[in-house]
Copies of this chain bind each other. A is one copy, B any other.
Amino acid sequence: MIIMKKDASPEQLQHVIDEVTKVGLRTDVSHGQHLTVIGLVGDERQVDFAHLAALPGVKEARMIEAPYKLINREYSNAYGETRTHIVKIGNVELGGDEPVIIAGPCAVEDRDALFRIAEQAKEAGAHILRGGVFKPRSSVHSFQGLGASGEAGAIEALTWLKEAGEKFGMPVVTEVRGEAQAALVSQYVDIIQIGSRNMYDQDLLQTAARTKLPIIFKRHFGASIEEFLSFAEYIAAEGNKDIILCERGIVPVGKGKNYTRYQLDLSAVPVVQKETFLPIIVDPSHATGRRDLIRPMSLAAMAAGASGLMIEVHDRPEEALCDASQMISPAELKEIIGLARQIRQITVK
């Protein structure tokens, strides 16, 4: 990265950008309150940092060691921003002191159910409404969401989601699984979700990033944190830094039963907060797959410092077409939200 002097002129900034572009890299310019920093996209070994450091207006030029550079704490510290980046979605701010709750059914299945659940989630204290239209599934023989029934089905489900969000004053989020879905989905939602199974899908990440919508980016269940952040960098490199990282469980360890779908890795929360300026939320529903574990793991996520929770909720779990065993009731959600706020008040420094 190249840190510009306080009094660097726009021409000097442009000159540095030109020099970088000349050797085949792209730039990412970040303006802090007092300082401007230029991040680099591409192979930094092509860059002569000594040369850049000597250019007029340049305070310092050096490499960031980690493979994630544009989302690195070191980068935001360089332009003088030490807080977590706040992602604004409508009137919701994610990344600040107040925990943000994203709730809703696993899949959008029918209009009435969605509206009923949305109303109750709102009443319970949730801020953002979730609902799957294109469901990633391990088996081609399983229900793939209403999106699988063709474009008309997808549009219908997306319309319901949008209307439910508007009616109850909640921004909405749904998952995009394939590149071809991004353009359509972006017309209806406030946030795009990239699911765990698609974390490594760099073309999808770039396509989603270009919609300019905030992205909830879930860690793959087999990915190290370094990999997770390296792939988040694909989104940032498209100029979109409204990235909400999401921990949702890693593959269970060892032989025999662990009694949960995945193993929630809560140390990812403080680790990610040291490594990057992006906010991180936690999804206890997919991580545990068990209704009775949502409460303790939600509270633990709060105590670990997560910026929010993503929880599957259904008023009639037995009717849900997917993930019924991990749905909690709106009443349980309300209790969790209340406790989450109390824990945040105690633990925030």
Contact = CB atoms under 8 A, between A and B. Distances in A.
Interface in A207-230: 207, 220-227, 230
A198, A234, A296 — which one has the most chain B CB atoms within 10 A of its CB?
Answer: A296
Nearest to A264: B267
13 contacts: A43-B141, A179-B180, A198-B200, A222-B222, A224-B258, A226-B256, A226-B257, A251-B253, A258-B271, A263-B267, A264-B267, A270-B297, A300-B303
Interface of A: 40-44, 67, 69, 136-143, 177-181, 197-198, 200-204, 207, 220-227, 230-231, 233-234, 237, 250-267, 269-271, 274-275, 287-288, 292-293, 296-297, 299-305, 339, 342-343, 346-347
B178 A203 contact: yes
A200 B198 CA distance: 7
Contacts of A223: 222, 253-254
A283 to B, nearest CB: 13
A138 B68 CA distance: 10
Contacts of A254: 220, 222-224, 227, 250-251
Contact of A255 (B69, B252, B255): B252
A200 B203 contact: no
B139 A233 contact: yes
Given A139-B67, A223-B254, A265-B263, A197 B201 contact: yes
B251 A222 contact: yes
Contacts of A269: 296
A300 B251 CA distance: 20
A196 to B, nearest CB: 8
